[in-house]
Homo-oligomer: A and B are copies of this chain.
C-alpha cells in the first residue's frame, strides 16, 4: 500500500519518477536557504520552497524535505569527521609535520587544549576537550586523552556524549577525576529554536570556543598555515 515508490513492474509508464534529480538552480537555491539558516523547514516552508523550485524542474515536497534532512545530517557528519581528524592530528606525532599546537611552554601542570566541535551552523552539538599533561618542554604525544562515551540512562543505548576525564600521567596513580561535560550553546546564527540539548550538569561557557570556521577551514588547510590557538581554562589564558 505504501511502497508505491518503486512500482516498477508492469506499468511501464513510470508512475513515479525514479528519483528526483535536482537541477543546478535547485541545488543552488536550496543551499542558499540552508545558508540562511533553514535546517528543518516546516510543512509550510517546504511547500513554499517546493513551489519556488518547481520553476526549475519537477520537484515535490518530500524532495525538499529529504534534501534538508540529508544535507544537515551530512554536514554534521562531515563536521564531526573534520574535528575528529583535527584532534587526531593534534595528538599525533606527525613524522614530518610540526605539531598543531605550538610547542607548549609547559611548566608543569595541566594543560587543556579545548576545542569545540560540531558547532553546526547554529546548533549545538557538543564540545571536545582534550587534555594533556605537560611534562617538560613539550607535549607528549603519549596522550593523556580522555574521551569516554557516555550513554544516557533513559533508554538502553541512547545518545552518547563525550565526557572528559582528567587523567594523571607521570606521577600519578592512575586516578582520574571527572571533568564535567562540556556542551556548547548555539552560535545564534539564524537560530530559530534554541537548541534543546539537554542542560548538562556543569555547563562550561563557550567563551573559549574556537569557532567552527576555524575548524572547518583547518580541515582543508589544516597542515599548512593554520595555527590553532589553545585556551587554558584554568589560567584563563590562551595565546
Contacts and interface: CB of A to CB of B under 8 A. Distances in A.
Interface of A: 1-3, 5-7, 15-16, 31, 35, 42-44, 46-48, 50-52, 54-55, 57-62, 65, 75, 77-78, 80-82, 84-85, 88, 92, 148-151, 153, 156-157, 159-160, 163, 192-193, 219-220, 226-232
- How many identical subunits does the complex contain? 2
Contacts of A44: 84, 149, 157, 160
B157 A3 contact: no
B157 A57 contact: no
A2 B149 CA distance: 9
B61 A3 contact: no
Contacts of A16: 156-157, 220
Given A156-B16, A160-B43, A2 B51 contact: no
Contact of A55 (B5, B57, B159, B228): B228
